[in-house]
Amino acid sequence: MEQNSLIPKIEKVEERKRELETLMQDPAVLKSSDRLAEVTREYKKCKEITEKGEKYKSLINTIEEDRKILEASDDNELKEMAKEELESAEKSVESIEKEITVMLIPTDPKDEKNAIMEIRAGTGGEEAALFAGDLFRLYSKFIELKGWSKEILSSNPTELGGFKEVIFSVKGHGAYGELKYESGVHRVQRVPATETSGRIHTSAASVVVLPEAEEVDIEIKQNELRIDVYRSSGPGGQSVNTTDSAVRITHVPTGLVVTCQDEKSQHKNKAKALKVLRARLYDIKRKEEEKKLADSRRSMIGSGDRSVKIRTYNFPQGRVTDHRINLTLYRLQEILDGDLDELISNLKIAEQGEKLKEV
């Protein structure tokens, strides 16, 4: 990037900072704690960029002045001083230029939202269901380590302790921004507990991570919903409730179907099902908007193509490989115990590199 190409970008941020200062005094903004927090966060980021920008512009001026001295002055001592100062300024400006460029990468406001996660057993029968259960425990431990909280919205457990499907919400600032990298197909290679011959099997489970949608994000019209109630069942199909508490909601325009039977209360099951439906509809809307903005050209590191195999957990070798960034870690047990930080931080760096190309 040429040095002066950053100046207009910095000036644009300075202009936005002044707008935000005015907004922070607006009575309508002050009345809304959520809006005020949003404006304050953006102001803080703009302030950091403009402060770096002032240093950057000062260095640019120093470089220009020193070059003029080297070209026009006859004073050898002055030229020597200008030369030393120029070398130092050029090194500093290169470093601060990189810092500002990274800071200018737009952040996704959805990253700060709560998340809804869906884990489904794929190929591999009962072993795949057990692996889905392992993934659920992995994320449960990660959520606990982060100090967040989770709530199961819907589950379909198996008799051996696995899950055909489990859907749960994750509450915590920035939960979606951390967990979004987990969307995709996860593969496991190990000797299954159900295998007697000791052969290594390969099974899979899919993970979908959605930003939790508020009512202001997506409107659901009651006349577009078909709601059915029935008796809930447990592993093996046996009835676990004597009342029609399980709920199935069909969104007629899209054909999306959400079921929930975990609660004994029909009202609670309906509320949970609507939460999942709202998140799925929001995801469809988001993808349509991204397509219009030609974001399809962007790397899938962050958004997660759900049909793509993203990670392999190899038990015999004790390794985990993330195929998107070709990273292999021989820390299988620690990762299964919820230590995802190293994987996620490397995925963030890779995504940042992709976005840098677009800035």
Q: Are residues 197 and 240 in the same domain?
A: no
Domain end: 103, 130, 160, which one? 103
Q: Are residues 28 and 140 in the same domain?
A: no
Domain interval for residue 38: 3-103
Within-domain flag for 138: yes
Q: Are residues 87 and 7 in the same domain?
A: yes
Q: Are residues 286 and 305 in the same domain?
A: no
Within-domain flag for 296: no
User: What is the residue type of 131?
Assistant: F
Q: Are residues 161 and 134 in the same domain?
A: yes
Q: Are residues 133 and 248 in the same domain?
A: no
CA 259 vs CA 241, 247, 276, 277: distances in Å:
15, 6, 9, 9
Within-domain flag for 231: yes
Residue of 23 and 239 predicted with greater confidence: 23
Q: Are residues 208 and 126 in the same domain?
A: yes
Q: Are residues 39 and 94 in the same domain?
A: yes
Give the orientation angle of helix 76-103 with respect to helix 33-72, to 10 degrees: 160
Q: Are residues 206 and 326 in the same domain?
A: yes
**CATH code, domain carrying 149:** 3.30.70.1660
- Dump pLDDT digits (tens) for 128-140: 999 999 999 999 9
Q: Are residues 262 and 165 in the same domain?
A: no
**Average pLDDT of the segment spanning 38-58:** 91
List the single range of 11-15, 54-58, 265-269 with lowest mean pLDDT. Answer: 265-269
Domain total of the chain: 3
- Dump pLDDT digits (tens) for 323-340: 999 999 999 999 999 999
Residue 297 has pLDDT above 70, yes or no: no
- Dump pLDDT digits (tens) for 160-214: 889 999 999 999 988 999 999 999 999 999 998 767 677 888 999 999 999 988 7
CA 250 vs CA 238, 259, 329: distances in Å:
24, 9, 42
**Could you tell me the pTM of the whole model?**
0.68
Alpha helix (H) residue ranges in the chain = 7-23, 27-31, 33-72, 76-103, 125-146, 175-179, 266-292, 332-336, 341-358
